[in-house]
Structure formats: structure tokens, C-alpha cells
Homo-oligomer: A and B are copies of this chain.
Amino acid sequence: MVGTHGTSEAKRLVGHQAETDVELVPDARGRTNRPEPGCPVEVALAAISGRWATLVLRELMHGPCSFGELRARLPSLTAKVLTDRLGELVAQGLVVKDRLPGFPVRTSYRLTAAGMELRPLLIALYDAGSRVLAALPPHD
């Protein structure tokens, strides 16, 4: 399980002063009062930010993939945006690009060890979204 999201008997917050909620903010890097790049939350957000990012990651979770295959699986994604997205992921060290020599050129993108660490996050996103939808009034 991704997260026995057991808030079970976690923390009650008797007062209302935010006395370091250890479950929510385990260590000092998260006790920031503004968006700082070093905060783990920001690192994770950067990874999944940008339109199409989670979809590209989802595809790569299945294994290495070429540029063209990604385009084929995500038809409404334009080449420019895909290039952008992959570039960011590579810059963040989450994906590596292998250029296979020959002609026509073939490339292969695959997740790094760091990138694979995002799998539970994708699942958590799906999970949280599902629960939110379920908890929401019939509609709007």
C-alpha cells in the first residue's frame, strides 16, 4: 500500500497553534513558510507540474519509450510540448535520453532510479482524486 493513510490516532492539535505536525511535516525542510525549491514537496511538485507531465510519466512507468511511441500514445500532445516536458524531466534527473546511432535516428527515454520513486506519487494522486470525487456532493 502506498500509504496506510492512517491519520487514525495521529495528531489531534488540541490548541490551534500549528505545533509541528510531525506526520504532515516530518522535518525542518517542510517547515517553510514559502515555496522553497529545497522543500521535498516542491521537488515532487516540479516533477508532476506542467500539462501532460503525469501522462508522460505514466507511459514511461511502463518501460522505456521512444519519442514517436510517446506521441502515438498521446496523440493530442504536440511535439514541442513533449520535447519541453521531456527536457524538464531530464533536467531534473528523473529521465534519461538514449540516442541510438543509425538512420533514421532512434531515441529512447527511460526513468532513472529517482524517476521511479514517483510511481507511488502517481498512485497517490489517483487515489486522492478518487476519494475527493467520492466525498464531493453529487455535483458541481
Name A residues whose Cβ lies closer than 8 Å to a Cβ of B.
1-3, 5-7, 13, 16, 18, 21, 23-26, 30, 32-35, 39-45, 47-49, 51-52, 54-55, 58-59, 61-65, 73-77, 93-94, 112-133, 135-137, 140
Contacts and interface: CB of A to CB of B under 8 A. Distances in A.
A125 B35 CA distance: 14
A13 B62 contact: yes
Given A1-B6, A34-B75, 7 more contacts: A5-B117, A13-B62, A18-B62, A39-B129, A40-B129, A41-B129, A114-B135
A69 to B, nearest CB: 8
A119 B5 contact: yes
Contact of A44 (B51, B55, B115, B126): B126
A136 B117 CA distance: 10
